[in-house]
Amino acid sequence: MDPPEIILLFVLLMVLSVSGGIGALIGKGKGRAGAGFVLGFFLSWIGWIIIAVMGRSPEAEARYQSEVANHRAAQRGAMPPGAPPQQPTYSSPQPGWNADPYGRHQLRYWDGTKWTGNVSSGGVQSVEAD
């Protein structure tokens, strides 16, 4: 092999490797980094498109669904079963009516030690059932 052919082969392998790396990065979030590398290496930008439209792997889908459930539970103020209790990182509110930390009503009554079932939404007070 002549030196120009070796250089050309080296450049081609570098381009294919970079293309495979891009495919791996695209597939990483879907749990398909290996497939992304192979598709990117052999098919270049066509492989990137293929890996981009592929769904998540079953493991990545389960992980994603778990993260979504945890995020939604945290937004509601509830934690999923088995989750460790969260330690407050703030000082306790003053006793009285405060914004509902659970997000179900506008206000909830804090008695100085715990949130009570006394709630208020739209100026109408009620007692929330447990």
Q: What is the pLDDT of residues 14-61, one digit of tens each?
A: 999 999 999 999 999 889 999 999 999 999 999 999 999 998 888 888
- The size of the chain, in residues, is 130
Cα→Cα distances 25→32, 34, 81, Å: 9, 10, 33
**77/12 Cα distance (integer angstroms):** 55
pTM of the model: 0.50
Print burial letters for 65-90: b (CB count within 10 Å at least 16), e (below 16). Answer: eeeeeeeeeeeeeeeeeeeeeeeeee
Residue-wise pLDDT tens digits, 58-107? 888 888 888 888 778 777 766 655 555 555 556 778 889 998 888 889 99
Q: Of 113, 112, 116, which Cα lies nearest the Cα of 128?
A: 116
